[in-house]
Amino acid sequence: MAPSLRSFFYLLATFQAVTAASWNATCTSKSQRKAWNDMTATEKTAYIDAELCLMARPAQAGITGAQNRWDELDWAHIAQSNIIHNVGAFLPWHRYFMRVHEYLLQSECGYEGGQPYWNEVLDMDNLTASVVFDPDTGFGGEGSDCVTDGPFTNLTLHMNSSSTSADYCLTRSFNSNGFQTGAQTYLDECFNTTTYVDAFECYQVNPHTAGHSAVGGTMLDVVGSPGEPLFFLHHSNLDRLWWQWQQANLTARLTEMGGRNVPLTSYLEQNGMESPSSSVLDYDGDDGNATTLNHNLWMVGIMPNATIREVMDLGGDLVCAEYV
């Protein structure tokens, strides 16, 4: 979609925003987010079935071309890829995105668990043997034209950066070498940073890039990667790592935010993205090119907007989750 239309939808959503906490006003029971390798076969089946449910449920947010809830989630990421990557809002936006996905599974598909995560560091030495790729109790394996086994065989996606009617297949191509920047040494480097800006810059480069590179195929599409179901396990793991960093100095880090709102020119050029327009930046909740707790997080009408302040506490009223 053209950047001008992206800007229009963003501006419209901003004007129509309601308090995000209205759909989860009080956190009384936190979602238990488990590592995939620690889940029972029954729990894994329940999660996969809920994902398939979202792919079968009719679209509801009025997004042109969306055929189901899965398309709408994909579009939330596609439509604003040039303002949620390489910026201070990268970690908070994706935290909220994980919660929206988790909530849809629970509220519309009867899923009783929390959003699982892929504990990627356990698979550094043998990527292809990871339990997440098991065709019976996981997400299936590779496929350069279409994934050929598992529950998402021949999954057709409909959204990409240039079209809302681009029918194409979910693909994967594993890359063990690209996975190595998710090793514990790199995680330790990020954990040992002392400011949010340094932390987000570190996490977005090494562990973040590692998971996308490891899976390959659709996951390598910076814009359309949420079409890959493993996206949500990968980004939940990244969110878990950020939460661990926050917990190391929780009192201070629940309110520490920063970073730019406009991606670096080199990043935009590398990924074929245009610079965000003023119609977006004028309504993002910040003054100038600095991310604050007031920054608006947009979910294209799937769920209400939120601010970064509302998602800083993983166990707070809006996200209401814990990693176990």
pTM: 0.93
Q: What is the dihedral of CA 125, 115, 102, 317, to 10 degrees?
A: -120
Burial 230-239 (b: 16+ CB within 10 A, else e): bbbbbbbbbb
Backbone phi, psi, residue 117, to 5°:
-130, 160
Question: How many alpha carbons fall within 13 Å on the CB side of residue 246?
Answer: 20
Q: What is the pLDDT of residue 24?
A: 61
Q: Residue 291: which of 3, 125, 66, 85 has the closest Cα?
A: 85
> Are 69 and 215 spatial neighbours (Cβ–Cβ below 8 Å)?
no
Q: What is the pLDDT of residue 98?
A: 98
Backbone phi, psi, residue 321, to 5°:
-140, 165
* Residue tagged 């238990």 (tokens): 32
Domain span including residue 296: 3-323
Q: What is the pLDDT of residue 162?
A: 87
Q: Which residue ranges in the chain fall short of pLDDT 50? A: 1-22
In sequence order, which residues have a C-beta less than 8 Å from that of residue 109 and are 6 or more positions away? Answer: 49, 50, 53, 54, 57
Q: Residue 23: which of 320, 324, 321 has the closest Cα?
A: 320
Q: What are the distances in angstroms from CA 234 to CA 82, 153, 271?
A: 20, 20, 20
Q: What is the pLDDT of residue 280?
A: 86
Which amino acid is it at 6?
R
> Are 131 and 233 spatial neighbours (Cβ–Cβ below 8 Å)?
no
Residue 35's beta-bridge partner residues?
A: 117
Structure tokens at 32: 């238990």
Helices 230-247 and 196-215, axial angle in degrees (round to 10): 160
Q: What is the pLDDT of residue 8?
A: 38
Q: Report how far residue 277's alpha carbon sits from residue 286's, in angstroms, rounded to the nearest whole number.
A: 14
> Are 317 and 26 spatial neighbours (Cβ–Cβ below 8 Å)?
yes
Q: What is the pLDDT of residue 13?
A: 39
Total structural domains in the chain?
A: 1
H or E, element range at 239? helix 230-247
Which amino acid is it at 286?
D
Q: What are the distances in angstroms from CA 50 to CA 45, 67, 229?
A: 8, 17, 11
Q: What are the distances in angstroms from CA 198 to CA 55, 169, 193, 249?
A: 37, 37, 6, 15
Q: What is the pLDDT of residue 279?
A: 82
Q: Report how far residue 243's alpha carbon sits from residue 322's, in angstroms, rounded to the nearest whole number.
A: 9
> Are 297 and 312 spatial neighbours (Cβ–Cβ below 8 Å)?
no
CATH number assigned to the domain comprising residue 300 = 1.10.1280.10
Q: Report how far residue 146's alpha carbon sits from residue 268's, in angstroms, rounded to the nearest whole number.
A: 29
Backbone phi, psi, residue 253, to 5°:
-85, -5
> Are 122 and 37 spatial neighbours (Cβ–Cβ below 8 Å)?
yes
